[in-house]
Amino acid sequence: MFDPFAEALHSPGPIDGLAEKLNLYGRFVGAWTFDASRHLEDGTVLTGRGEVHFGWVLEGRAIQDVWILPARNTSSQPSLGKWTFYGTTLRVYDPGADAWHIFWSDPRNQYFSRQLGRAEEDTIVQVGADGTGSSVRWSFSRITENSFRWLGERSHDGADWHLEVEFLAQRATTA
């Protein structure tokens, strides 16, 4: 079936001339599964298994991803009050700033964040704020061809960072 929206949004790869810069996130294009841990302020740790899909969009000038918890192929869905999300990130490279503008949206939980992302040695660090005004720092580390670690941290004072979320991702295999 022809889908004009999907055809207009999706791209087969990065735009010519920027492929090297765009590979910072472009290397994640594809399907992944992840084991997730969420650390609550009271010391409780929620866990789950999810999925994330990365793809080229907007004439190969951006990367968009969709993060889903629990994974759609999970037979048991969490009960009300458990940790769930279904959101998307748009990552747009800005050659003038040599950085990425990051826009996260999770309409299920009404959680939104805008950040600026850059490489810091072998880690990708995104810093910004969420809708409450709290500082957030999200990072990709331990990046290999088939795995990565993603951390979500928060600071109320801009100095002391507290781990909120950790995802350990593995590239999905095709059977």
Give the tens place of pLDDT for each residue, 136-152: 999 999 999 999 999 99
Is it the case that residue 2 has pLDDT exceeding 90? no
Is it the case that residue 79 has pLDDT exceeding 90? no
Q: What is the DSSP letter of 79?
A: P
Domains of the chain, each with CATH number or no CATH: 4-171 (2.40.128.20)
Name the pTM for this structure.
Answer: 0.90
Task: Quote the pLDDT of residue 88.
Answer: 98
Cβ atoms 72, 51 nearer than 8 A: yes
Q: Looking at residues 22-49, what average pLDDT do you find? A: 95
CA triple 21-26-28, angle to 5 deg:
145
Query: Does residue 14 have a cis bond before it (omega within 30 degrees)?
Result: no
Give dist(CA 21, CA 143) in Å, integer. 16
> How would you classify the pairing of strands 85-94 and 99-106?
antiparallel
Cβ atoms 24, 100 nearer than 8 A: yes
Determine the residue type at 66.
V
Is it the case that residue 115 has pLDDT exceeding 90? yes
